[in-house]
């Protein structure tokens, strides 16, 4: 059985020491009450639920998978009870508005819940996870009646929600959607078409499922401008939220997949199903972008979860498994051989996982602060500013953290040698489960285009410049020649970081200039540029964490080893991971000719 221990000390370090979270909450009237006691309660109770109820179902859920019969889906043994306990614990609505039955805690606290349930059991966590997406879409764009009827049940978790975008002919390019919506004359619509790959599309955890569906009206313009968003309940709902008759839709099948087998991935057939328009006609894709930013943070967390779980499982193995003698001299002369944790290559694999997990956590919770700000900000100009920064950050988090999360999972498996390939240890499952994270919610290729094309070149690098200035200002504040000893210690982080940040803007500019002559440079550079951006962003967080840790070390706290380990992990990151940016700089700037010249026939 895969075991999970919630990394409470590290989450507290990030939230309380790195992000100074209570002073941040104090800025907002709605979050004044969030104290260290509230944080402690959320951390310990959520950890207990995840460690004792979800983690034990991780491997068994994979072995059993979901079952489809006659349109109904049964989730693996134990999933339904765990879901009921989750609902009873009030976890789904922890950061939903109080007026819809939620607890009104900041979204950043909701992210802690998402990280913990996701690391303990990612496939299980997808049921409430997709539902959060459906609820936030309704909060943002639904009308009053829709909010009143559907949100309290979604907030409690009594009903689940889904996001139905993908069809057989389109995933990345949603402009190709064919599902139709015909007005019925009474304010409702008949939805007809087939959606594929719908996570949590059908299951036995809740009495109803509320589908959020993209479809086209009969007179809609072609392409992405002609897509509208609809609410389509599996069971029709009366005005008092009681259940009516079954809607005209069915689950045709569920996918047999590589991983996340406990999560049902459904083909949904809508056969003149009753649906209700959300917001304005033909604005569906625009609304989806609001949803996608938060959903992409949800998937970015999967990168952290994969790194964290792989690390938690491979670390004790590396301490116990014996093989040969350490190169620098025997560490355990009383044993037949030394533990593999003494070997540099094994250490590299462990530290890579640790660096990505802790660095990724800091990046995600920093974004959580932006979501808090967005949820409270009423000033339009300020809101736009935060939204732009969040929008810029999203593809970096989603694209980069899922790629390195998968790398971490692979490293975890490698630490086990051949045993990693054997099901019993759980690592091969983490690798299989992590693989999807670079694909759904927009592939890494699509994240790269979003970052470089939409979020940088289209807006002439404005947000990149603002974020780069934030990093450079941190660098300036911590690199001065100073009598303060821990400031000197920061120079090894600050100098390479500032250089890479200055180059980050130069490379964007260079690509922008080259793109005037050859548009293919954008597509040929985008994924390398995205990864470069990820490594630089993570370096900023590692530098900040090292700085905080150095300050704490000077105070000689009881848990001084925690802070020393932080500094050492930062050193590892800058020595052995961060130099990857140099290669990426070279490849992103290479002319696209060698990619584009070959004809399709020559391949």
**Contact by Cβ (8 Å): 54, 121:** yes
- Residue number, 321 or 432, with CB nearest to ligand FAD: 432
Q: Of 225 and 462, which has the nearer Cβ to ligand FAD? A: 225
Give yes or no for residue 198 binding ligand FAD (CB under 6 A): yes
Kindly indicate which of the ranges 194-202, 349-357, 466-474, 503-511 contains the residues binding ligand FAD, using the contact rule CB under 6 A.
Answer: 194-202
Q: How many residues touch ligand FAD (CB under 6 A)?
A: 23
Strand partners, 214: 229
Among candidates 508, 398, 484, 485, which has minimal Cα distance to 444? 398
The span of 91-99, 191-199, 245-253, 344-352 binding ligand FAD (CB under 6 A) equals: 191-199
- Least CB distance from residue 437 to ligand FAD, whole Å? 10
Across the strands, what pairs with 571? none
CB of 190 to ligand FAD, least distance (A): 20
- Binding test (CB under 6 A) with ligand FAD, winner from 272, 377, 439, 515: 439
Nearest distance in Å: CB 173, ligand FAD: 6
Q: Which residues contact 487 (CB under 8 A, 6 or more apart)?
A: 478, 479, 480
> Residue 370 or residue 404: which is nearer to ligand FAD going by CB?
404
Q: Which of 197, 392, 425, 507 binds ligand FAD (CB under 6 A)?
A: 197
| Residues of span 28-57 touching ligand FAD by CB under 6 A | none
Q: Near ligand FAD by CB under 6 A, which window of 17-25, 192-200, 423-431, 493-501?
A: 192-200
The long-range contacts involving 76-80, CB below 8 angstroms and separated by at least 24 positions, are: 76/262, 79/124, 79/127, 79/205, 79/262, 80/204, 80/205
- List Cβ neighbours of 218 (8 Å cut-off, separation of 6 or more): 180, 182, 183
Binding residue for ligand FAD (CB under 6 A) from 155, 264, 265, 479?
A: 265
x/- track of binding to ligand FAD for residues 378-417 (CB under 6 A): ----------------------------------------
Helix (H) or strand (E) holding 211: strand 208-215
Choosing from 224, 443, 484, 503, the residue that interacts with ligand FAD (CB under 6 A) is 443
Could you report how far apart the first and last alpha carbons of the chain are, in Å?
46
Distance CA 251, CA 173 (A): 24
Contact flag: residue 519 with ligand FAD (CB under 6 A): no
The tokens of 404 are what? 């390195």
Q: Report yes or no: 99 and 144 within 8 Å, Cβ to Cβ.
A: no
Q: Is the dihedral of CA 17, 23, 24, 26 positive or negative?
A: positive
Chain positions 238 to 257 lying near ligand FAD, rule: CB under 6 A, are 257
* CB burial string 11-33: b at 16+ within 10 A, e below: bbbbbebbbebbebbeeeeebee
In the complex with ligand FAD, the residue whose CB is nearer, 127 or 574, is: 127
- Residues 115-134: x where in contact with ligand FAD by CB under 6 A, - otherwise, as a string: ---------------x----
| Binding status of residue 442 toward ligand FAD by CB under 6 A | yes
User: Which of residues 243 and 439 has its CB atom nearest to ligand FAD in the complex?
Assistant: 439
The first and second tokens of residue 186, run together, are 């009474």
Quick one: which of 209, 446, 452, 521 contacts ligand FAD (CB under 6 A)? 446
The set of residues, in sequence order, having a beta carbon less than 8 Å from that of 84 and lying 6+ positions away, is none
DSSP run (H or E) holding 254: strand 249-254
The two beta strands, 72-74 and 67-69, are antiparallel
Please tell me the distance from the alpha carbon of residue 378 to that of residue 280, in angstroms, as a whole number. Answer: 22
Instruction: Check binding of 86 to ligand FAD (CB under 6 A).
Output: no
Q: How far apart are CA 21 and CA 12, in angstroms?
A: 10
Distances (CA, A) of 379 to 8, 374, 384, 387, 451: 35, 10, 9, 12, 26
CB of 202 to ligand FAD, least distance (A): 12
CB of 66 to ligand FAD, least distance (A): 12
Shortest CB 171 distance to ligand FAD, Å: 2
* CB nearer ligand FAD, residue 268 or residue 464: 268
Nearer to ligand FAD, 372 or 441 (CB): 441
Q: Rounded to the nearest whole angstrom, what is the least distance from the CB of residue 105 to ligand FAD in the complex?
A: 26
Active site residues: 441
- Rounded to whole angstroms, the Cα distance separating 176 from 165 reads 11
Q: How far is CA 109 from CA 28, 34, 156, 531, in A?
A: 14, 10, 17, 28
Question: Binding to ligand FAD (CB under 6 A): which residues in 142-171?
Answer: 163-166, 170-171
Scanning 271-426, the segments in alpha helix (DSSP H) are: 284-320, 344-376, 380-395, 401-415
Nearer to ligand FAD, 512 or 523 (CB): 523
**Should residue 208 be labelled a site residue for ligand FAD when binding is judged by CB under 6 A?**
no
- Taking CB atoms, the residue at the shortest distance from ligand FAD is 171
In the list 390, 406, 425, 440, the residue contacting ligand FAD (rule: CB under 6 A) is 440
**Contact (CB, 8 A) for 229 and 288:** yes
Q: Which is nearer to ligand FAD, 259 or 412 (CB)?
A: 259
Nearer to ligand FAD, 266 or 364 (CB): 266
Q: What residue ranges bind ligand FAD (CB under 6 A)?
A: 130, 163-166, 170-172, 197-199, 257, 265, 436, 439-443, 445-446, 449, 523
């Amino acid at each position: 059985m895969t075991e999970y221990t919630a990394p409470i000390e590290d989450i507290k370090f990030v939230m309380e020491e790195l992000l100074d979270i209570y002073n941040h909450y104090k800025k907002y009237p709605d979050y004044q009450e969030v104290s260290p006691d509230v944080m402690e309660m959320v951390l310990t109770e959520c950890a207990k639920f995840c460690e004792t109820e979800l983690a034990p179902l991780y491997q068994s859920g994979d072995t059993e998978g979901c079952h489809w019969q006659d349109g109904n889906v049964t989730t693996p043994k134990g999933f339904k009870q765990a879901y009921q306990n989750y609902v009873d614990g009030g976890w789904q609505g922890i950061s939903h508005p109080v007026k819809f039955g939620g607890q009104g805690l900041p979204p950043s606290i909701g992210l802690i819940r998402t990280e913990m349930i996701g690391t303990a059991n990612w496939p299980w966590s997808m049921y409430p996870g997709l539902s959060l997406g459906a609820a936030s879409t309704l909060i943002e764009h639904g009308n009053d009646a829709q909010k009143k009827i559907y949100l309290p049940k979604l907030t409690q978790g009594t009903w689940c929600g889904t996001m139905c975008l993908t069809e057989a002919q389109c995933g990345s390019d949603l402009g190709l959607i064919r599902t139709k919506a015909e007005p019925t004359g009474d304010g409702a619509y008949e939805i007809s078409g087939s959606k594929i790959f719908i996570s949590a599309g059908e299951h036995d955890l809740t009495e109803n499922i509320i589908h959020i569906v993209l479809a086209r009206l009969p007179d809609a313009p072609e392409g992405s401008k002609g897509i509208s968003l609809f609410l389509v309940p599996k069971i029709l709902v009366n005005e008092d939220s009681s259940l009516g008759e079954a809607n005209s839709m069915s689950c045709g099948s569920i996918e047999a997949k590589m991983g996340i087998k406990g999560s049902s991935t459904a083909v949904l057939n809508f056969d003149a199903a009753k649906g209700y328009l959300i917001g304005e006609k033909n604005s569906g894709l625009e609304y989806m972008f609001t949803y996608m930013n938060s959903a992409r943070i949800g998937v970015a967390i999967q990168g952290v979860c994969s790194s964290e779980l792989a690390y938690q499982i491979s670390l004790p193995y590396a301490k116990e498994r014996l093989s040969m003698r350490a190169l620098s001299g025997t560490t355990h002369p009383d044993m037949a051989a030394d533990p593999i944790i003494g070997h540099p290559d094994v250490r590299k694999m462990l530290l890579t996982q640790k660096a990505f997990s802790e660095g990724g956590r800091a990046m995600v919770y920093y974004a959580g602060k932006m979501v808090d700000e967005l949820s409270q900000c009423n000033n339009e100009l300020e809101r736009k500013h935060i939204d732009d920064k969040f929008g810029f950050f999203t593809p970096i988090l989603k694209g980069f953290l899922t790629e390195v999360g998968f790398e971490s999972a692979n490293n975890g498996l490698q630490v086990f040698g051949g045993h990693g390939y054997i099901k019993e240890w759980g690592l091969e499952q983490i690798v299989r489960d992590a693989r999807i994270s670079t694909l759904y919610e927009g592939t890494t290729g699509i994240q790269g285009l979003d970052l470089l094309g939409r979020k940088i070149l289209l807006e002439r690098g404005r947000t990149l410049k603002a974020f780069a200035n934030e990093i450079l200002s941190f660098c300036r504040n911590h690199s001065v020649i100073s009598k303060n000893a821990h400031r000197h210690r920061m120079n090894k982080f600050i100098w390479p970081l500032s250089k890479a940040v200055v180059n980050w803007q130069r490379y964007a500019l260079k690509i922008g200039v080259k793109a005037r002559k050859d548009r293919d440079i954008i597509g040929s550079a985008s994924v390398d540029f995205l990864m470069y951006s990820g490594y630089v962003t993570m370096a900023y967080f590692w530098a900040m964490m090292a700085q905080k840790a150095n300050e704490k070390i000077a105070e000689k706290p009881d848990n001084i080893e925690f802070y020393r380990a932080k500094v050492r992990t930062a050193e590892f990151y800058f020595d052995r991971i961060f130099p990857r940016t140099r290669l990426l700089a070279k490849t992103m700037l290479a002319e696209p000719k060698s990619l584009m010249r070959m004809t399709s026939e020559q391949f």
